[in-house]
């Protein structure tokens, strides 16, 4: 369900023209928007998953939250997730960030299962390697309320999954 404040914008002829050009050419060069309004337009122009690259790692979560808000307002379905850098490089001797690794895995899983609406990442997040799709799928442990599993088996699965 689209928010009432978006109705005049959706009726704007230039938006339909831009959507047609994007569909026809696969590429669209737009200018003039500033601030978080730049996040709204891609959601209105396409239903395809969006990759949004921000210049700095510290902007990833804030932009993802803004995009999530706009996605709710536009009625867009799918996950809007951040794809943070996993932390320091593996050979620097510094600990990795488990929270970042978890969010990266969740984003990759959302994409692999076709639930992704938008992914927000920095160049640092995109340039770091991640798990291959087949390997990721074998490491997922799904538990729901009411499921029973022994603590030993759960610990073993978590340990094997990293």
pLDDT over threshold 90, residue 109: no
Q: Return mean pLDDT, the chain.
A: 84
Q: 149: pLDDT confidence band, cut at 50, 70 and 90?
A: confident
Question: Which range among 40-49, 52-61, 93-102 shows the weakest confidence by mean pLDDT?
Answer: 93-102
What is the SS3 string spanning 117-160? EEEEECHHHHCCCCCCHHHHHHCCCCCCCCCCCCHHHHHHHHHH
Average pLDDT over residues 107-133: 88
What CA–CA distance (Å, rounded) separates 97 from 102? Answer: 9
Q: 53: pLDDT confidence band, cut at 50, 70 and 90?
A: very high
Residue of 66 and 32 predicted with greater confidence: 66
Average pLDDT over residues 15-38: 86
What CA–CA distance (Å, rounded) separates 89 from 91? Answer: 6
In sequence order, the β-bridge partners of residue 121 are 53, 83
Q: 4: pLDDT confidence band, cut at 50, 70 and 90?
A: confident
pTM for the structure as a whole:
0.78
pLDDT over threshold 90, residue 62: yes
pLDDT over threshold 80, residue 141: no
pLDDT at 142: 76
The phi and psi torsions of 33 (rounded to 5 degrees) equal -85, 150
Which range has the top average pLDDT, 49-53, 145-149, 158-162? 49-53
């Amino acid at each position: 369900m689209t928010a009432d404040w978006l109705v005049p914008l959706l009726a704007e002829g230039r938006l339909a023209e831009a959507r047609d050009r994007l569909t026809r050419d696969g590429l669209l060069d737009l200018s003039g928007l500033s601030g978080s309004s730049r996040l709204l337009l891609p959601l209105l122009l396409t239903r395809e998953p969006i990759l949004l690259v921000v210049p700095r790692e510290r902007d990833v979560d804030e932009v993802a939250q803004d995009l999530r808000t706009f996605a709710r307002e536009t009625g867009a379905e799918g996950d809007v997730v951040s794809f943070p850098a996993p932390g320091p490089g593996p050979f620097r001797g510094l600990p990795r960030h488990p929270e970042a690794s978890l969010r990266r895995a969740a984003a990759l899983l959302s994409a692999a299962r076709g639930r992704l609406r938008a992914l927000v990442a920095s160049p640092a997040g995109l340039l770091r390697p991640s798990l291959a799709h087949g390997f990721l799928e074998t490491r997922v442990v799904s538990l729901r309320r009411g499921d029973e599993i022994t603590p030993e088996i759960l610990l073993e699965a978590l340990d094997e999954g990293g």
